[in-house]
Chains A and B, each alone.
Chain A
Amino acid sequence: MEVQRHRLANGLRVAVVPIAGLRSVAVLLAIEAGQWFEPAGRPGVARFVAQTLLRGTATRDASTWADALDSIGAAARLDVGLHAATFSAQSLAEDLDVLLELMADALVRPRFGPEEVELVRQQTLAQIEEDERNTRAVVERAWRELVYPLGHPFRARAIGDSDVVRTVTADELRAHHRRAIRPGGAVLVVAGGTEAGRAFAAAEEAFAGWSRAAPQDGKPVREAALASALRRLVVVPDKTQSDVMLGWPGLPRNDPGFVAARVTNMVFAADTFASRAGHRVRDELGLAYYVFSTLGSSRGQSPWTVRMGVNPVNVERAVSVTLEELRKIVDGKVAPADLVLAQDKLVGELDVARESPGGVAAQLLEGELFELGPDHVERYPRELRAVTREQVVETARTLLPPERHALAIAGPPLPEAARAVSEAA
């Protein structure tokens, strides 16, 4: 992968991977404006700002901006995650300059008009109400509340809290925009049918008006720690399946143990075929259609969770089998073949992800955003392969103690015996 880099005068970093023969380009612009950077006690402000950015600029009202984006046939979205607010887009290569200009217009010169703010407010409140009836959203809310203390940026989902959404003002949105939507710390990644020089020139032109600002400073955040096994059941009426989320607070992306954690995650539950829990729960016992684990990337203790969809009758068994598999890892029962399989899978996925410009851009983004070094893409597969069995066992022992987990369940009422366990916890 041939990466070319450039830094704009305002601090925005640009990385480009030209791919010959493609008609399109994938663009990722990640700004340090995710949940980690939200004001304490105001969950939902970051997403509210992001949504309002798509609702008109100083020179284009919302309809005109939407018409312009659709006129080049671009696909674009703006998501707020744990660490970053990420504009992800794809356009024909010939439209890259227009796409970047539209993105810059939304980010740098938002309108925050009263009608548009009100529309976003009502849409968000409606979405929060919808989510309360969606078992996947409910289980995530319940799990985060179990794990993260009050005031922690990851305690709420990105959509936030309905009281915050109801009360946030345009002035608060503008203030957060000034504080968080800044070029310092942000990264623009372009991959696809363009030359690097052309992409750099388009970025210079589009983002020249973005005032220089250094990355945001770190802030003190209370540590999340589980002192015992915690459990919460939320009944969502008239559902058939229980959504289950079992997990622990993770570790920062810049932590030296993060790569070992990725490998541990794959050995444990990340994949149905290459991981132990997935294989046991789905393939051997037929308890769930899906079971997988993920470990988030951020500056903080991102969620490290196993998720599964299970019939209420099977919830206890699926959870206990998953914890049994984890205990084996903690007890050092990691066969060399399991470790090699997990490492091969993680390294192989990097190759396969390069099948699309979006995959190439996504692979590059993490290293650029967390400043893991210009050679990160080349080094990373070697780092994955260098993880030892001892590191996997130690990571599981330290970060995934089976007896101190957080378990959230959302869906139909559980059978009597399981409910008694939930209520006692």
Chain B
Amino acid sequence: MSHFLEHMLFKGTPAHPKGDLDKLLARYGALWNAFTSEDVTCYFETVPRERYPVALELEADRMRNAAISPEETEAERTVIVSEREGLENDPSFLLGEQLQAVAFSRHPYGQGVIGSKDEIKLMTRDGLYAHYRRHYAPNNANVIVAGDGAAEELLDRAAAAFGPLDAETPIDPPKAPEPPQYGEKRVVVRRAGGAVPLIQIAYHAPRAADPRAPALSLLAVALGGATAGGGESASGRSSRLYRALVDTGMATDVDASFQLMKDPYLFVVEATLRPHVAHQEVERVILEELARIARDPLAEEEFMRVRRQMLSASAFMTDTITWRAFRAGQLLATGAATSLEEWYERLAAVTALEVRAAAAEVFQEKGRVVGWFVPEAAA
């Protein structure tokens, strides 16, 4: 529902009918869009400096005044179905969706973000509008303004835009925390020829505000590198899983991720298998690597390399205005830190022993969910 609603907030308000602001922002060359995660929906605009008051005005207006008409809801429904269908072409999405559903039996994280095609088809305009009015209020949002300009002026402008809006009754956190898992769960997705074999292994992991979160961020870098993989990437090739799976010819790509989330979520490892390599063999190698990193602390040289990748990636992110704002928003919304500087300091303070300890606590059989994507011969 949150994701459907995100689409509807581009359909205009009484003050700014559909198309008005689209054209205005396009004219400024703005980078503007939105995304929905399990925790938040984020709307963003990157505009030339002199235009930022327009972005604030737009966001303040649509926070409370979106039209969400029945006609526009119907028109957008097919676009969202199309988005879902595009995702269904991707085996990594299909497996990840199942893995998430299996991992969370009670917490809403198990529902995923976009919903099933039937759920998208059944959502009503009134349901969306009620969700909108309940959740879209200044006391349930963070506004981040990054870029050139005096901080006080930016704050004053933001306060002037959002200050007059009415608050809503505070939202309670989800009433269904995920109960502990008491043994490995497995899921297999089989699809006909149009896919490649994949493995995803997830472990229940702490929330962003947990003191172990910075160490888990470094652990993900040690296992999979700091930047997205793919054959063209030159960085991250010193990581444990790249060496164990790609350099040995068992996989074409590997990834390890720990996301900063409001509630306890997952640490996920993924490998795209070379054709004709057995799933069990790749799973065995991954589990061996996870056991090794949970048993023996990283040697000094390797630890310093991992630390440097993490801190550099953090600096790269904050050297770009849009990413600087995204990162600040993520830290605030999830409770990971109160500022970019605080998070950087926490990352910089992590020790090799803390990385090992975090691995040992998270990589436990009883908190594990293993997913295999198995392509089958086309009918």
Contacts and interface: CB of A to CB of B under 8 A. Distances in A.
Q: Do A and B come from one complex?
A: yes
Interface of A: 22-24, 50-51, 54, 62-63, 66-67, 69-79, 87, 89-92, 106, 119, 122-124, 126-127, 129-130, 133-135, 192-193, 236-241, 243, 271, 273-274, 282, 284-290, 309-311, 341, 344-352, 355-359, 411
Given A356-B322, A359-B320, 19 more contacts: A24-B312, A24-B319, A63-B238, A70-B236, A71-B238, A73-B311, A77-B230, A77-B232, A106-B234, A124-B231, A127-B231, A274-B23, A284-B75, A286-B77, A289-B80, A289-B82, A345-B29, A355-B147, A355-B322
Contacts of A341: 23, 26-27
A130 B196 CA distance: 6
A238 B193 contact: yes
A113 B211 CA distance: 46
Contacts of A133: 193-196, 375
Given A75-B226, A348-B29, A411 B89 contact: yes
16 contacts: A22-B319, A23-B319, A54-B237, A69-B235, A73-B226, A77-B235, A122-B249, A123-B249, A123-B252, A239-B89, A284-B75, A345-B26, A347-B29, A348-B26, A352-B29, A355-B31
Given A73-B312, A311-B81, A355-B320, A51 B194 contact: no
Contacts of A129: 196, 275
A135 to B, nearest CB: 5
Contacts of B77: 286
B186 to A, nearest CB: 22
Contacts of B319: 22-24, 192-193, 356-357
A351 B316 contact: no
B3 to A, nearest CB: 12
Contacts of B131: none
Contact of B194 (A87, A236, A345): A236
Contact of A90 (B31, B82, B310, B316): B316
Contacts of B305: 67, 70-71
Contact of B29 (A126, A236, A288, A351): A351
A79 B86 CA distance: 25
B353 to A, nearest CB: 21
Interface residues of B, number: 72
Contact of B86 (A286, A290, A355, A358): A290
B112 to A, nearest CB: 16
Contacts of A357: 319-320
B30 interface: yes
Given A71-B305, A72-B312, A73-B309, A348 B28 contact: yes
Contact of A287 (B78, B315, B323): B78
Given A75-B226, A127-B252, A351 B85 contact: no
B238 A273 contact: no
A346 B30 CA distance: 10
A73 B305 CA distance: 7
A352 B47 contact: yes
Nearest to A159: B231
A1 to B, nearest CB: 14
B321 A356 contact: yes
Contacts of B46: 352, 355
A345 B274 contact: no
Contacts of A240: 85-86, 88-89
Contact of B238 (A67, A92, A135): A67
Nearest to B311: A73
Interface in B168-223: 191-196
A78 B238 CA distance: 17
Contact of A75 (B25, B78, B316, B318): B316
B122 interface: no
A194 B195 CA distance: 45
Contact of B31 (A67, A124, A239, A352): A352
Given A127-B252, A129-B275, A240-B89, A70 B48 contact: no
Contacts of A54: 234, 237
A319 to B, nearest CB: 15
A51 B48 CA distance: 38
Contacts of B85: 240-241, 309, 311
Interface in B229-245: 230-239, 243
A343 to B, nearest CB: 9
A69 to B, nearest CB: 6
A78 B76 contact: no
A236 B88 CA distance: 13
Given A119-B249, A289-B83, A237 B378 contact: yes
A133 B80 CA distance: 24
A273 B12 CA distance: 13
Closest 6 CB pairs of A and B: A348-B29, A73-B312, A356-B320, A66-B237, A238-B192, A237-B378
A341 B23 CA distance: 7
B266 to A, nearest CB: 24
B82 to A, nearest CB: 4
A51 B252 CA distance: 13
A343 B278 CA distance: 53
B345 interface: no
A241 B272 contact: no
B193 A126 contact: no
Contacts of A345: 26-27, 29
A299 to B, nearest CB: 22
